Amino acid sequence: MKRYFYQFILLICICFLISCGSLQEKNSAYKANLNTKITVNSDQIKQALYSQYKDWQGVRYQPGGLSRDGIDCSGFVHVTFKSKLGLNLPRTSVMQARMGDEVRKDELKVGDLIFFRTGKISSHVGIYLEKNKFLHASQKKGVTISSLDNTYWKSSYWKSVRL
């Protein structure tokens, strides 16, 4: 019986080591994907984002969701960049916030990611469009376009990232 217990522990350790290596590999893939040059201009990006909005408008917010049955903010960013811009971003807002280069709020361009602190340990992410508007999956409205001039978003603003 003791022998099986030690074999079981060994198997768990091996699985853990394998999974950690694959996580690092995935993170490297994101960086490699971002280092490739994007050959679309800002008008094409804007058109792709508005098209995504048209397809997803009103889809309800669902934590952990990744489909039209329900989607969360980071899932929406993940799906949008993959399907419309061909970039494979991490799934969570925490990992997305670590990508690219930080830019000032007054330097935002279409396609930049915008991050908000919505609680002590929670954050929210959206995609900048134009004229202080951004596309995101809102807990109250689902997939929508909001204004950075809104009191809530203005006070919750954390940082912006350009990929």
Query: Could you list the active site residues?
Result: 73, 124, 136
Residue ranges of E strands in 53-147: 66-67, 70-71, 101-103, 113-117, 123-130, 133-138, 142-147
Non-local (6+) Cβ contacts of 55 within 8 A are none
Non-local (6+) Cβ contacts of 71 within 8 A are 56, 59, 60, 61, 62, 65, 79, 137, 143
Q: How far apart are CA 135 and CA 129, in angstroms?
A: 7
Q: How far apart are CA 19 and CA 56, in angstroms?
A: 33
Q: Considering only CA atoms, which of 58, 148, 45 is closest in space to residue 87?
A: 45
